[in-house]
Structure 1
């Protein structure tokens, strides 16, 4: 799922850009979104009375059969109606949504064709201080697809994560990184490679989006498409990529960089998946054995995921003395206390032992004992990744950010399935040991450095990592070099909070298992 959903969404940006250009429309930055049908006009008065979600749960227009892999028991679905599913959605929002009292009261379920389209409008219309939507994180996902991503990190694709530096013609689509062993990696496709053509269609300015869609978002294993690529050195080649099942490798490129003042550890951390637990533990053990003096965590493309994984990482960065008894994140719910949690249950500690995701539960986590860490970040750094920053700062660890402003998502969910759809409605805000969690417009970096697609991630010459090393050694950000037109465009996009990666919202979340 790592490639299918992100690449379909990414191509939607291309489709929209082409549509806007053809119609003479505008739209800057990301080039807009999917071509939208007209939204129904809400009725002037409120809908039918809100019912308890439990009274209509599992009453499905198309009930599932068989065994629920999460419980080992039969699916609880019973034959129902779309109207019943929409009543469940409305009840669930009223009970658990953080801003339930800001949801417009004029929305009528009958005006929306499906429970999902109804859910999509059941959110606050308010804005942040910077004028962004307060809730820009409301989403749904097919339950089976969500399970495959969150538990196993498996999907169908080529194994290349794409960065859309410009979604409007002339488009600029490049490879941000590849998954080890994937078709893209086996074809020696490297970071910074530009996509020029797909199946003979010009990606930069072409309008045949159906062909582009088919190539960027392969529907099944074994599907093959031709790509014309331009490497960072300017050389071009045409090759065929065949889609395969891709397993995400959330932790990559763990290494030690020699400096005049001691070894500095580096690790690329791309997803807070359950499968990240084991490689994070292994990475910390490796770096601890190397006797590192400082650590750079590259989370520029990490959209978040499991909050327990974030807590484990923060614990391993710091020391037992700093984290014992301290709060990693305290969850603040609406005033209904929808999950009936005691204060202790709404508090996530710095985990001292493994949680059993991909390491046997209860094993003591290794510790680096650092009082300072540098995080490479940008607008694709979101949610649970921001929790690592905020949690460590809450116990006095200095966290220097280098790159761009993070996405600004101090909120999270308890994902809830109903009738085969998993719903993600904002249900809590996270605050750290000091009670701080107000960063809905993101964390600003100490050193503003545009993403550098001309160097490999982990290369000490890569602009963000080079700036982090300079900041560590000299105590100040390096003087900016003269910027070319391309870098200025990147800086402008990052300053506007424009993400490069277009991926499933499930990869940009702060997720907890139900208590």
Structure 2
């Protein structure tokens, strides 16, 4: 699972109930087993949810007795509907649930059932209900890496069925292990099938190394480093540090950080990455956490702050470039921890954003499971306690539990970060990732050197950007509670 900012309430005593009445809090009586999932969801959200005070049904004094509470839990038979309709705040765009906590936590660790094809999806057609996909990149050692398919290719169908708003989820993200993509060409904005087919098979346990490309260029006397980083996966923090060791050995004086397809992940990994870019001075504030009202009142300022790092979680000295400027490539798929890097570096470093506006996710989340007895941190998932999770409830929730402010107190970027240099990806000229003539990288090189050379900066913005394949593989800002707090909580 993704490690984050390490805030473990390990020494505290946390008393949980669903009302100020000490007689309320359990699920009992006829039919109670059928609402165990809802019971877990309510209790976890009542403690941790960022908008707990804004959701009337999550109020500490919402119920006067067990009968009222149980009736409320039974008001939605489907736990998914219960979560969405009863617990989620209207402005919450990112909290989600999973029926299988093991699948979720593997996804958060970069392990998934996948064929290795990373793609984006767009609406098109007369009514904007048909969908086409384009290949962004191929994951190494995957089934797709062995097939005749590459970045920039388009597809409009699966197994002979045209993709549309109604069927794309089942066809691309369903239980089918193998499917065949029906490929297409694009010319002057027109998309036409080309008769090519590519069969792909999903494999269990595919691990993606997010450190995708590391390269250096010596251009006009500038040693320019390039790093494409596709997910803040803490299991690869050492590989990330090694990449910066390579850039440092190359004598890099400018860095282009490619986060265009990075939807987020471990916020602690974002702290390490930012330290590798800027500084390992552990006196510099990296971020300050903002929790819900009742938790915020309990935590001390020391508990809520974190600083730049000088070592990885494994104790390795961080390789830092000590830069005062960084160029970051962004799109609407750049989210969560990607945006946190931009925000947290901003008070210290000139951050030049190239591409299109980021997603606008300024909250962090926690993975929660039915483990109410975890001392000091009920319901918070930890791998070592899997034998303590209710065996009759495999559901997990990933609710937003707070926001991170940078060193000057800024966290308001729900509209995303607009680029300083706007340049959308052109589906007819995507280029080769990591090549100095790839349009976004080339534009960054021009900004660094002032020389455009042979590079083509044609801008063609596709209509109706729809989604990214990684939006269906949860990679959210995620924390593990791991830093001792010498507190005594009584949340009733």
* Alpha-carbon shift at residue 248 of structure 1 (Å): 1.2
- Give the length in aligned residue pairs: 418
**Structure 2 counterparts to residues 160-199 of structure 1, below 5 A:** 160-166=117-123, 168-199=128-159
Q: Is the Cα–Cα contact under 8 Å of residues 256 and 328 in structure 2 kept in the other structure?
A: yes
Return the match for 2:201 from 231, 242, 245: 242
Q: Is 1:439–2:413 an aligned residue pair?
A: yes
Label 1:337 to 1:427 Cα distance change in 2 as closer, same or farther (>3 A).
Answer: same
Q: Is the Cα–Cα contact under 8 Å of residues 380 and 501 in structure 1 kept in the other structure?
A: no
- Tell me which residue corresponds to 1:65: none
- Tell me which residue corresponds to 2:292: 334
Q: Is the Cα–Cα contact under 8 Å of residues 297 and 376 in structure 1 kept in the other structure?
A: yes
- Tell me which residue corresponds to 1:465: 441
- Tell me which residue corresponds to 1:262: 222
Q: Is the Cα–Cα contact under 8 Å of residues 131 and 165 in structure 2 kept in the other structure?
A: no
Return the match for 1:455 from 412, 415, 431: 431
- Tell me which residue corresponds to 1:273: 233
Structure 1: distance between partners of 2:165 and 2:185 = 20
Q: Is 1:349–2:307 an aligned residue pair?
A: yes
**Structure 2 counterparts to residues 256-335 of structure 1, below 5 A:** 256-320=216-280, 323-335=281-293
Q: Is the Cα–Cα contact under 8 Å of residues 96 and 338 in structure 1 kept in the other structure?
A: no
* Alpha-carbon shift at residue 410 of structure 1 (Å): 1.4
Q: Is the Cα–Cα contact under 8 Å of residues 149 and 198 in structure 2 kept in the other structure?
A: no
Q: Is 1:224–2:198 an aligned residue pair?
A: no
* Alpha-carbon shift at residue 347 of structure 1 (Å): 1.5
Uncovered stretches (5+) of structure 2, i.e. residues with no partner: 2-17, 63-71, 371-392, 483-492
Label 1:118 to 1:319 Cα distance change in 2 as closer, same or farther (>3 A).
Answer: same
What secondary structure does 1:352 align onto? coil
- What CA RMSD, in Å, does the superposition of the two structures yield over aligned residues? 3.4
* Alpha-carbon shift at residue 136 of structure 1 (Å): 0.4
* Alpha-carbon shift at residue 442 of structure 1 (Å): 0.9
- Tell me which residue corresponds to 1:146: 104
* Alpha-carbon shift at residue 90 of structure 1 (Å): 2.4
Structure 2: distance between partners of 1:282 and 1:327 = 24
Structure 2: distance between partners of 1:305 and 1:339 = 27
Q: Is the Cα–Cα contact under 8 Å of residues 299 and 381 in structure 1 kept in the other structure?
A: yes
- Tell me which residue corresponds to 2:42: 90
Q: Is the Cα–Cα contact under 8 Å of residues 411 and 430 in structure 1 kept in the other structure?
A: yes
Structure 2: distance between partners of 1:502 and 1:253 = 18
TM-score normalised per structure 1: 0.73
Label 1:242 to 1:275 Cα distance change in 2 as closer, same or farther (>3 A).
Answer: same
Structure 1: distance between partners of 2:248 and 2:121 = 36
- Tell me which residue corresponds to 1:511: 478
Larger RCO, structure (CA 8 Å, separation 6 or more): 2
- Tell me which residue corresponds to 1:43: none
Return the match for 2:115 from 158, 167, 189: 158
